[in-house]
Amino acid sequence: MKNIGILGAGQLARMLALAGLPLEMRFGFYDTTGNPSVGLDPVLIDVDAIPSNPALQTFIEASDLVTYEFEHLPLPVLKYIEEKVTIYPPVRSIEICQDRAKEKALFTELAIPTPAYRIVESEAALVTAVAELGTPLVSKTTTDGYDGKGQFIIKNPDQAKEAWQAIGGRPLIVEAFVNFSRELSVIAARASTGEVKIYPLAENEHHEGILRYSTAPAPHIAEETERQAKLYIQELIESLGHVGILTLELFETPNGLLANEMAPRVHNSGHWSIEGAHVSQFENHLRAISGLPLGDTQATRPTCMLNIIGNKGDINAIMALPYAHIHLYDKEERPGRKLGHVNVQADSYEELVWRVNNVAAYLPGAGNYQLKS
């Protein structure tokens, strides 16, 4: 039996615990937002997140092993915890993944293609970068951005100043706007023994920067695309010495894949694996960090995960559909908030599209589900 401390107390922490309980693991959560939604005890709340806080001491003492559900954590706190108890994935993975500049540098070092980019720290540098790269461009804060927050699309060079005013005053990355044919992600688990298992690629559809649908295995993936995606994540996970789940988001273009960003943790585009794979990303993360054998990452059937965003819609009607697996996160409704997801499986992609649209019909704003290819 292992006591696992999770830094963060949102839905990812919740789903990790739900996967770990059958493996006789116990969980405690450490929340730095003052707004934990995990719905499970014990949660220690410590919004200041400084080493001398008693809540942190209690959390460390209760944990045999610490992991995390999100990477935007203060490094001094992580380094402090690391001196007392093992943190997996290692802090180096967070250090790189919480800073887009470091992440891009690693992609470049490993010859993993990414959109052309510049890092800028002033309005003047942004203006120069825009002139050099040409428009359209996407500017993003190098740290703390997620779900499209902290992003500004520069459609013409005149907008460089506007972009700096909107999200600047801090380092930005400005990168070529990619006309991708679709967004893909690949998720891998690595154990401390070096064993790596990779999930099939997922096809992801975003709306207003927020993931709406993930379909796995991504339909009609060229063998070469699959090979490249798996090679890139294998190189990343090994070069980081990562232990646990690592996610890589990619753009598929006619000229091959481009890496967008990575996350050193379980990921929304892997929620399909709860029903859709032999062993889910959550269970494999826990197995990897606890020194247990990794489980089979293969998909059992075509699966789609559809996020419930902002409004739970007619959840009872969804429950009545025999193919809908509902996962709710115990959160209050709020525009743009991820409240849960539904996993749907089918024997063919045609049937999957039909089933998912039947679910989406009960979720306001879910839109129409279509596969890209």
d(CA 364, CA 188): 33
Exactly one of 58, 102, 123, 177 binds ligand AMP (CB under 6 A); that residue is 177
d(CA 69, CA 4): 12
Pick the piece of the chain touching ligand AMP (CB under 6 A) from 28-36, 140-148, 190-198, 305-313: 140-148
Nearer to ligand AMP, 226 or 261 (CB): 261
Pairing of strands 182-190, 172-176: unpaired
Pick the piece of the chain touching ligand AMP (CB under 6 A) from 16-24, 89-97, 175-183, 308-316: 175-183
Pick the piece of the chain touching ligand AMP (CB under 6 A) from 138-146, 288-296, 301-309, 310-318: 138-146
Size of the site for ligand AMP (CB under 6 A): 14
| 115 lies in the binding site for ligand AMP (CB under 6 A) | yes
d(CA 250, CA 201): 10
Question: Tokens 């800028």 sit at which residue?
Answer: 120
| 261 lies in the binding site for ligand AMP (CB under 6 A) | yes
Pairing of strands 182-190, 244-253: antiparallel
Question: Tokens 């954590």 sit at which residue?
Answer: 73
CB of 364 to ligand AMP, least distance (A): 22
d(CA 227, CA 222): 9
| 113 lies in the binding site for ligand AMP (CB under 6 A) | no
Nearer to ligand AMP, 194 or 209 (CB): 209
CB of 146 to ligand AMP, least distance (A): 6
Residues 6+ apart with CB under 8 A from 52: none
Exactly one of 183, 203, 226, 283 binds ligand AMP (CB under 6 A); that residue is 183
Reading the block at residue 95, the tokens are 């250090």
Exactly one of 138, 160, 237, 243 binds ligand AMP (CB under 6 A); that residue is 138
| 178 lies in the binding site for ligand AMP (CB under 6 A) | yes
For residue 3, the cross-strand partners are: 26
| 205 lies in the binding site for ligand AMP (CB under 6 A) | no
Reading the block at residue 183, the tokens are 């967004």
Pick the piece of the chain touching ligand AMP (CB under 6 A) from 35-43, 48-56, 173-181, 231-239: 173-181
Give 199-259 as a DSSP string: PPPEEEEEETTEEEEEEESPTT--HHHHHHHHHHHHHHHHHHT--EEEEEEEEEETTEEEE
| 264 lies in the binding site for ligand AMP (CB under 6 A) | no
Please list every residue from 65 through 94 that binds ligand AMP, using CB under 6 A. none
Contact residues for ligand AMP (CB under 6 A)? 115, 138, 140, 145, 148, 175, 177-178, 183, 206, 209, 249, 260-261
